[in-house]
Structure 1
Amino acid sequence: MCSYCGCADLEVVGRFMAEHEHIVNHLGALRDGLEDPVRRRAAAETLAAHLLPHVEAEEAGLFTVMARDEVFTDHISRLCGEHHELDDLLARVADGEVDLYPRFEDALREHINREDNGLFPAAAIHVGGQEWDEVERLTPRAGAVRTDR
């Protein structure tokens, strides 16, 4: 989590960063359950239940607003592609391709790093007041990741 630029003080960004931390915290259960199909499936489903609403919220709000600027369009597109790749990798691990777990974990951590230490600080600098209002309005609240579990 970025702690140097203040972007986490922005409500939506702070939420997304907290969700990232929560999602990463669920990796241990998946890693520990890789060899047990029941535990693996349950851990993957729990992780997906946190990851998917988070991804939808990012893409609906912040990504939508930032992608309008050609400076960010390609980067946002790449991050959305990574979201799809992560979803696919997680599903394949859940289905028993346990050798893909290290690739999934590395990709997830790297993706989060690109957002927390790249996109979010850039958003803090680039996105203006009315745009933040739009991000807030577009970002889903229902089904959002609960970080108290």
Structure 2
Amino acid sequence: MCEHCGCRGVPPIAELMDEHYALLEDAHAIRRALATGDRAGAMELVRRLAGHLEVHTRREEIGIFAAMREQGDFVDEVDLLEGEHRDLDGAIEDVDPASPEFDDRLRELLRDLSEHIDRENLGIFPVSVVSLGGRGWDLVEEARTALPTFMTGAPDTGPGAPR
């Protein structure tokens, strides 16, 4: 993930990016469970990931995505990203630990999640930093207040975090 665009200097965007780091950590934990053949553990971690994604994607959709859409900026990209949110939700719902394709489908889902996060971190987030006006940032803050991060109380582990 890039750090050169200034996104991390904008608290609402930095918080969403920190959530992305946490989601990628969730994905890594799932991969570790798969590597040891622990399907039950992987499913428990998938449920955790699903809960985190539910909060995170809702925050994006009622905040930054709504602000971009209201402003008329990059609406096609916002639509694509929201569609990917639905696709990820559907893929998670379809995960079946009894299926012989369980490991492969889960790995594919985690690859899709990683690509989606890159598209947001390297695309819509930097665009929002330079294009959103005051009303847009008000919407982002309203969403941030209405739906707090799933990381409340968790330390920031992303690049540049205090060590």
TM-score scaled by structure 1?
Answer: 0.89
SS in 1 for 2:2: coil
Deviations 1:81-103 (A, max 9, x none): 1011111222333x223221221
Unpaired runs of 5+ residues, structure 2, are: 156-163
Aligned letter for 2:50? A
Q: Deviation at 1:51?
A: 1.3
- Judging by fraction of residues, say which structure has more helix: 1
SS in 2 for 1:146: coil
RMSD: 1.8
Q: Is 1:74 matched with 2:79?
A: no
Aligned letter for 2:62? A
d(CA) in 2 for partners of 1:132, 1:105: 30
The 1:45/1:140 distance shift into structure 2, 3 A limit, reads farther
Q: Which residue number in structure 2 is paired with residue 90 of structure 1?
A: 92
Q: Which residue number in structure 2 is paired with residue 47 of structure 1?
A: 49
TM-score scaled by structure 2?
Answer: 0.82
Q: Deviation at 1:141?
A: 4.6
Within the candidate set 62, 65, 70, 1:63 is matched to: 65
The 1:126/1:142 distance shift into structure 2, 3 A limit, reads closer
TM superposition outliers: structure 1 runs of 4+ over 6 Å: none
The aligned length equals 148
Q: Deviation at 1:116?
A: 0.3
Q: Which residue number in structure 2 is paired with residue 21 of structure 1?
A: 21
- Of residues 41-50 and 136-145 in structure 1, the stretch that sits farther from structure 2 once superposed is 136-145
